[in-house]
Structure 1
Amino acid sequence: MLDASDPEFLLTRPEDMRSALFELTHPDSHILVRDAADREMAVLVLGADKQTRQFFWRPRDYAGADFEQSDSMGLLSGTTFHFHATAYGGVQIRFRVQRPEVIHFDDGSAALMSPFPDRLARIQRRKMFRASLATGPGLCQATWQPDPKQKPYRFTVRDISVDGVGLRVELAVPILPERGTVMEDVQLDFGDLGKFSANLEVRNVYPISGQPMIQPDSPDEPAPRHVSLTGEPPMSHVGAVFLNLDARQENWLQKVVWRLEKGAQRD
């Protein structure tokens, strides 16, 4: 059993907690909030603001309530709320916050706003371990050029394991490769640790900031109205798995992941 109080899993730096909160904006995340009376509700995390160090959330079954006039769930009368979440990929994220405030958007909708927690537990099993490069975004870059006549895509590697990689790019989701796309001959540059070329299969693509958090299901549907919470440029996440690595490549990659992990622990 993995203990959420283990220092290995605790995050206290605002940038690390913001990254973990952004993981919860993925549509496959499952988030439960429990109040002091042990009542539970399913919620969604909408985004996080790195400037004010606040994040935005609302009940999953939100139906246009403004919370102030209709607070049937006691969200504005409770004192402490415990978040128990399973993010994409099975990562467990746990933290608690005090009573939230209400924020209203131009379209008439409302959300709850809470400051970043003092600390946050992010638990990932060893067999799924991904070395995080969140604290050193310039360390590893990835480049992919699907067509010699086109400008290459340039990514920052957010995290990496022997199975896959998480990439960040300052582009909106609609112009990125879709789920199932095979990205051939992706060049990964680990700086002093060396370079690596591999084929990647895209497993998920989702917005991080500066764009609608939900994309339309059909091209005939209108683009969703978006209220920018941070004023940041478009940023998206691309999650992909390595394809057909041979034993030599897997061994080399494992050593890189191990060295990145050791470097993160020293930091």
Structure 2
Amino acid sequence: MLDASDPEFLLTRPEDMRAALFELTHPDSHILVRDAADREMAVLILGADKHTQQFFWRPRDYAGADFEHSDSMGLLSGATFYFNATAYGGVQIRFRVQRPEVIHFDDGSAALVSPFPERLARIQRRKMFRASLIASASQCHATWQASPNEKPQRFTVRDISVDGVGLRAGMEAGALPGRGAIMENVQLDFGELGKISANLEVRNVYPVSGQPMTQSANPGEAPPRHVSLTGEPPVSHLGAIFLNLDARQENWLQQVVWRLERGAQRN
């Protein structure tokens, strides 16, 4: 499990917390609220007001109820309420608020209103999200040795997610493993963020520059020769997915992706 108290996951700026609360208004979000007596209930977040820094919510089965007179679950008897939510796309959001107030709308319905929390934990868990490493490609790299007798191949890391990684190599596409090939013990180095060794399954390989952009349609025909006007060396892209990561490796990758995302936002 990821530690929600990790400073990397904590949001304290009102605009950041409002954005996180807005994520939870999606109908596919799942939100549980727990009180001091460990009673849990499913709730909906209706919206957030950036001016008053308050958000509106209600239990899923309380729609249209008068909370002040039909609080059969004792919702208003507690002092602190803990929100544990999974937003659309898998992001985990956790925070706590004090006892809410009741607000009545013109149509006769009611809702609960709470001030924004002092802090909110937002933990990235979108497998298909890819953090770009274009700006730090010189600091993040990978190495792989096909066999003990072969020279290790070196790549720069172009992007990464919990699901896979994009690599760039200074060689022609035909010299790289093809689609479906398994690359064992690839060493991924993210500089100050740390290193990890993983097995990869190649999903796509294509030329980027310094080589023919298309291959011959006839298997027996020699590939077209590329003439570079600038003398640029060949560069190719290799996209792959991670294979058989254990829980520790996946948690580590989640935190790396989160830190890279936060770094990109600051830049």
RMSD: 3.5
Task: Give identity over the alignment, percent.
Answer: 79
Aligned-partner SS, 1:121: strand
Match of 2:33 in 1: 33
- Contact kept, 8 Å, 1:48 with 1:56, in 2: the verdict is yes
Aligned-partner SS, 2:88: coil
Question: What does the per-residue CA deviation read over 1:147-178, in whole Å, with 9 as the maximum and x for residues that have no partner?
Answer: xxxxxxxxxxxxx9879xxxxxxxxxxxxxxx
The structural deviation recorded for 1:247 is 5.2
Question: What does the per-residue CA deviation read over 1:216-239, in whole Å, with 9 as the maximum and x for residues that have no partner?
Answer: xxxxxxxxxxxxxxxxxxxxxxxx
In structure 1, distance between residues paired with 2:131 and 2:265: 8
Match of 2:118 in 1: 118
- Aligned pair in 2 of structure 1 residues 130, 87: CA closer, same or farther (>3 Å)? farther
In structure 2, distance between residues paired with 1:130 and 1:45: 28
Aligned-partner SS, 1:37: coil
Does 1:53 pair with 2:53?
Answer: yes
In structure 2, distance between residues paired with 1:81 and 1:16: 21
1:50-199 matched pairs, under 5 angstroms:
50-125=50-125, 127-129=127-129
The structural deviation recorded for 1:264 is 2.8
In structure 1, distance between residues paired with 2:125 and 2:207: 25
- Contact kept, 8 Å, 2:36 with 2:79, in 1: the verdict is yes
Structure 2 unaligned blocks of 5 or more: 133-158, 163-203, 209-235, 239-257
Match of 2:265 in 1: 264
The structural deviation recorded for 1:251 is 6.2
Does 1:24 pair with 2:24?
Answer: yes
The structural deviation recorded for 1:65 is 1.1
The structural deviation recorded for 1:77 is 1.8
In structure 1, distance between residues paired with 2:13 and 2:34: 24
The structural deviation recorded for 1:74 is 1.8
TM-score, normalized by length of structure 2? 0.51
Aligned positions, number: 157
Q: Which has the larger Rg?
A: 2
- Contact kept, 8 Å, 2:93 with 2:122, in 1: the verdict is yes
In structure 1, distance between residues paired with 2:260 and 2:5: 25
Aligned-partner SS, 1:19: helix
Structure 1 unaligned blocks of 5 or more: 133-159, 164-244
Match of 2:193 in 1: none
Aligned-partner SS, 1:108: coil
- Aligned pair in 2 of structure 1 residues 259, 111: CA closer, same or farther (>3 Å)? closer
Question: What does the per-residue CA deviation read over 1:75-107, in whole Å, with 9 as the maximum and x for residues that have no partner?
Answer: 222100000000011111000000000111111
Does 1:4 pair with 2:4?
Answer: yes
Amino acid at match of 1:264: Q
- Aligned pair in 2 of structure 1 residues 53, 247: CA closer, same or farther (>3 Å)? farther
Match of 2:251 in 1: none
In structure 2, distance between residues paired with 1:70 and 1:81: 19
- Aligned pair in 2 of structure 1 residues 130, 32: CA closer, same or farther (>3 Å)? farther
Aligned-partner SS, 1:33: strand
TM-score, normalized by length of structure 1? 0.51
